[in-house]
Structure 1
Amino acid sequence: MEFCKEPGRIFATDETGKLLAEVTFPEQEGIAIINHTFVDGSLRGQGVAGQLLRAVADTLRQDGRKARATCSYAIHWFETHPEDQDLLG
């Protein structure tokens, strides 16, 4: 699956433009707030949410930014990926 990137958002749509997966991380006071993760039911159980969070982590690391996870999935993802916890600020 190929993701599209916008400031504060990484997402995927199908050929009709229907949203299939998304994570949002708007910036507040210099920190990216990971506040929403969505995966369409047709893709659940395929690791798409994890791919989204990996893309966010890679983007933040590349940009030298810190994050705060408020979305329950993002909190869980960081708990299970200790190698990326340095991104949390």
Structure 2
Amino acid sequence: MGKSKTNKEIIIRTEGGSEIGMGHIMRSLPIAHVLRERGMSVSFILNNDSAAIDAVTSAGFPVNICSPEQPGGVPDIKSCSAVIFDTK
């Protein structure tokens, strides 16, 4: 059975980096891979840490940096199908 694009946009909001560790990132990446394999568009919202950004972008996922001004660090999400939070 072939895989088809579902046109679902999934955002994963997580955090990680050199100071707080990469556990949330490493836990979220396999989920992102499965969602992408199932035809969904997946992007990440991260804190501004180069280690976290590098890990996610090197896995092939787009990254948006969360803004301290945004409540919960999440931009307007009305157009996405789901948001997955993995934060402390």
Return the TM-score normalized by structure 2.
0.37
Structure with the bigger RCO (C-alpha within 8 Å, sep 6+) is 2
Q: TM-score, normalised by structure 1?
A: 0.36
Choose between structure 1 and 2: higher helix proportion. 1
User: Structure 1 or 2: larger strand share?
Assistant: 1
